[in-house]
């Protein structure tokens, strides 16, 4: 069973500030570019038959800095569409009150945006491409959508992604154990425990 390697894009001004970023095309910060470059040595030893990236500048920039400038753009790797909540922080959204009290994207309304079912449907299409590949696949994507992708890959409800905190410029691996999909590495920072990626 081939492996699915997932990289969340590196830091942007909006991710650093906790602003929900989907359709807004925010570039990497200088620190983000450095962190993205640091991914290269951890990814280079592994052979990938297919490398995919979200079309957003922050994902493509991370892929390029990590040594995968020729990654194939895949619209299904875009971030969860936050609709009217685009650019807002969680405290700002919760400040709306009523239905937004205690809001998270996992359990609150997303007016004008995607439902979790739509994000999960995109994730399933990505997984179809992973399954059809001749070997391991590397995907450069975003925080929330990548968490849904992993939950779906593990045959969990997409809402289980809420339990999978994912930091910028980290590597995660969905592999297998005894013919079952299994999480082999999660939220690994370059320069950390390299054994987690072996």
- Catalytically annotated residues: 9, 79
CB neighbourhood size of 6 (10 A): 26
CB neighbourhood size of 73 (10 A): 14
Residue 63 · residue 71 · CB < 8 Å: yes
**Positive/negative CA dihedral, 14, 139, 73, 120:** negative
28 bridge partner residues: 12
Residue 172 · residue 182 · CB < 8 Å: no
- For the chain, report the end-to-end CA distance as a whole number of angstroms: 16
């Amino acid at each position: 069973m081939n492996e699915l390697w997932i990289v969340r894009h590196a830091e942007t001004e909006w991710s650093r500030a906790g602003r929900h970023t989907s359709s807004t095309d925010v570039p990497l910060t200088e620190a983000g570019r450095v962190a993205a470059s640091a991914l290269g040595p951890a990814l280079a030893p592994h052979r990938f038959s297919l490398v995919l990236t979200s079309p957003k500048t922050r994902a493509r920039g991370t892929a390029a800095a990590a040594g995968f400038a020729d990654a194939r753009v895949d619209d299904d790797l875009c971030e969860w569409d936050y609709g009217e909540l685009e650019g807002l922080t969680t405290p700002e959204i919760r400040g709306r009150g009523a239905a937004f009290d205690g809001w998270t994207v996992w359990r609150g309304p997303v007016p004008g945006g995607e439902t979790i079912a739509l994000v999960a449907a995109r994730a399933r299409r990505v997984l179809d491409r992973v399954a059809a590949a001749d070997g391991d696949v590397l995907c450069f994507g975003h925080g929330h959508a990548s968490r849904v992708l992993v939950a779906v890959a593990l045959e969990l409800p997409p809402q289980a992604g809420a339990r999978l905190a994912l930091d910028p410029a980290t590597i995660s691996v969905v592999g297998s154990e005894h013919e079952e999909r299994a999480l082999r590495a999660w939220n690994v920072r370059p320069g950390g425990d390299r054994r987690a990626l072996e």
